[in-house]
Amino acid sequence: MSRDNDLTARSAEPGFWPLYLFDSQATEAYAEAREDEEPEEDEILRAEFPLDRGLGLRLEFEPGIEYVDLAVLAPDSAEARTVGWDDTAHFHPHVMPWSELDLLCRAVALRDPASRYPGPMLALLLRFAFLSGGEDLDTITPLVDAAFSAAQPAEDSDAASRAGVREETRDWFDLRDLRGTRIEWADGPDGCRTVTQHDRDGAMLYSLREPASDEFPFAAWSGLLARATELLDAVRTDPAVRTPAVLDALGRCTGPEGHRHVGALATALSRAGFGHPVLLRALAEPVAVAEAAWAVETLAGTERGTVVAAWCGTSPLAGSRSWRLSLILPAAGRPVRFAQAIAGELSAELHTSGLGWAEVTGSTSVQGADGGHVRHSDQLDLLIRDDLPRGVRVIARLLRGHQAAETAELTHMDAPYERIPLLDPST
């Protein structure tokens, strides 16, 4: 990898996204490469996403330790203030609802001709956004898919077409979907909403934004959102947007077949003297349908996402469901890396079938006869998508092939934590 520490530039390199998304094999390969180079210090990749008036966001990624930090920039503070972080241990990634991420990405793209929306900024910051209830997947899915498509090409187009969405989109959805876990938003300090979770039995909220927090920079975050809203609203104050020809073209663009009329809208805007390069490019040369859609929404003043949903239709994720499972494998009499081998094979088969993934997440040990510690068992976390019985059959078949089904224990990770029989895969 190059030594350029610009995170946005590095995101275009082959192999970056598995590393950024904490793929264990990518992290191991990175560590080996760094050993050969004998680096003097840990590498930190940075990206800043400015609005104006000193407001913006700063993202830092330390690939060597799998750590990502998101901070807000504000004119009244000399230092960027962390709003959340993600790692593999004590993460607090639940920073904002989808609506705020969507707002900020649009506003930054509006100010920066070199940035596109949906694009790398959205893909990079998705890990800090989550679903809590009421979000429209018809709106969200096309934007997330387009963001990952802009940031990296699909390596497995067959898998993408089977699922209807990119694998990265589905991974984000499964990881950050907290709907149904009793998330509550309320007005807090400085007009900034706070978030609380009343049910801790399912997917859990880890956020600095809770009402009693003295760590979250509420005032700075409120200022950032307010300025982003102002910048988007200001587009419609241009007299060119209110000319009859533009208004007529906008009216035709906001319907279900509106994407057929964006070229005429771009022409009408140019003739009326509208000079905003970002929006004109989004209409005349969109890299995805969703890019032209958000430009139409901004110009027409419609609710964000309504045109996206109208043009792109029903989300493939509508009605989707996933299950988190725990698989315990006794270690007695097994090779040292038995669990890793099982996880690798199982994850590959689940992935190929479009059913999910598996990974080793821990182990237990007991005191041996000589007073030392002996590995007792290994734990795998599994995610099964949409078809639980089929996923269980895949698990059972693979374990039986390794003579491990009789002693393995498969359970749900959510209440009531039921045990799942490892049935004969032929039944």
Residues 14 and 113 in one domain: yes
Residues 133 and 271 in one domain: no
Residues 361 and 225 in one domain: no
How many domains are contained in the chain?
A: 3
Q: What are phi and psi of 150, to 5 degrees?
A: -70, -35
Residues 144 and 280 in one domain: no
Residues 172 and 55 in one domain: yes
Range(s) of the domain holding residue 287? 238-312
Strand partners, 10: none
Question: Residue 99: pLDDT above 50?
Answer: yes
As a dihedral over the C-alpha atoms of residue 347, residue 14, residue 286, residue 173, rounded to 10 degrees, the angle is 30
- Domain C-terminal end among 172, 198, 232: 232
Question: Residue 1: pLDDT above 50?
Answer: no
Question: Residue 159: pLDDT above 50?
Answer: no
Model confidence at 163, in pLDDT bands (50, 70, 90)? Answer: low
Model confidence at 362, in pLDDT bands (50, 70, 90)? Answer: confident
Contact between 359 and 336 under an 8 Å Cβ cutoff? The reply is no
- Which single residue is written with the structure tokens 């905003």? 276
Average pLDDT over residues 270-282: 95
Contact between 407 and 328 under an 8 Å Cβ cutoff? The reply is no
Residues 108 and 59 in one domain: yes
Residues 391 and 242 in one domain: no
Model confidence at 190, in pLDDT bands (50, 70, 90)? Answer: confident
Question: Residue 244: pLDDT above 70?
Answer: yes
CATH for 353? 3.30.70
Average pLDDT over residues 364-379: 81
Average pLDDT over residues 159-175: 78
- DSSP type of residue 205: P
Look up the pTM and report it: 0.89
129 located within any domain: yes
Average pLDDT over residues 323-327: 94
Higher pLDDT, 238 or 5: 238
Pairing of strands 193-197, 183-187: antiparallel
422 located within any domain: no
287 located within any domain: yes
Give tens-digit pLDDT for 105-124.
999 999 988 889 999 999 99
Residues 167 and 289 in one domain: no
Please tell me the predicted confidence (pLDDT) of residue 38.
63
Residues 250 and 330 in one domain: no
Higher pLDDT, 163 or 347: 347
Contact between 129 and 97 under an 8 Å Cβ cutoff? The reply is yes
CA distance 341 to 355: 19
226 located within any domain: yes
297-324 residues labelled b (16+ CB within 10 A) or e (exposed): bbbbeeebbbbbbbbbeebebeebebbe
Task: Report the share of the chain in percent with pLDDT over 90.
Answer: 70
Model confidence at 160, in pLDDT bands (50, 70, 90)? Answer: very low
pLDDT, mean over the chain: 90
Non-local (6+) Cβ contacts of 353 within 8 A are 390, 394
211 located within any domain: yes
Please tell me the predicted confidence (pLDDT) of residue 333.
86
Model confidence at 224, in pLDDT bands (50, 70, 90)? Answer: very high
Question: Residue 425: pLDDT above 60?
Answer: no
253 located within any domain: yes
Residues 205 and 275 in one domain: no
Residues 152 and 277 in one domain: no
Give tens-digit pLDDT for 5-59.
799 889 888 889 999 999 877 888 888 888 776 666 778 999 999 999 999 999 9
- Domain C-terminal end among 168, 203, 232: 232
306 located within any domain: yes
Task: Report the share of the chain in percent with pLDDT over 70.
Answer: 93
Please tell me the predicted confidence (pLDDT) of residue 374.
80
317 located within any domain: no
- Domain C-terminal end among 232, 263, 279: 232
Residues 180 and 166 in one domain: yes
- Three-state SS sequence of 347-411: HHHHHHCCCEEEEEEEEEEEECCCCCEEEEEEEEEEEEECCHHHHHHHHHHHHHHCCCCCCCEEE
| 3-state SS class at 241 | helix
Average pLDDT over residues 370-391: 89
